[in-house]
Amino acid sequence: MPDPRRWEQSSLDHPQLADTVRRRRQVASTLRNTLIEKGVLLEEGDFLIFTSDYSFTSASAAAATVIGASANGRILWKLPDGRTYADWETSQDVTNGTSS
């Protein structure tokens, strides 16, 4: 997985982009801390465990909250069989006779 700090470092040459990256990290980190305080997320060692259901606006919003930085949830979330959320979503479209 790419290191978000490396992305932020490379974006420093572009002040507006760097500011956007910092704000997204702050929002994700704030929601993460709120969910930990409310007991929705439980820290166990290096892991975060959801103790109850929580609805996010997107797979990427969920991934960013867990990681604490901007993230593409379609490729970071994985099923037990190793498929990404994007792969699963595509297979659902094929199964249902629709295309993306």
Rounded to an integer, what is the distance from CA 79 to the centroid of its chain?
15
Nearest to residue 24, comparing CAs of 8, 35, 39? 8
| Confidence check: pLDDT of 93 > 80 | no
Structure tokens at 50: 């959801």
Structure tokens at 65: 């909250």
Whether residue 32 is contained in a domain is answered as yes
> Residue 39, by phi and psi: left (phi above 0), alpha (psi -120 to 50) or beta?
left
The model's pLDDT over 10-26, given as tens digits with 9 standing for 90+, comes to: 445 656 656 655 666 66
Q: Which domain holds residue 61?
A: 4-95
Whether residue 100 is contained in a domain is answered as no
The model's pLDDT over 21-73, given as tens digits with 9 standing for 90+, comes to: 566 666 667 888 899 999 999 999 988 899 999 999 999 989 888 888 788 99
Helix (H, G, I), strand (E, B) or coil at 58: coil
Count: domains in the chain: 1
Whether residue 51 is contained in a domain is answered as yes
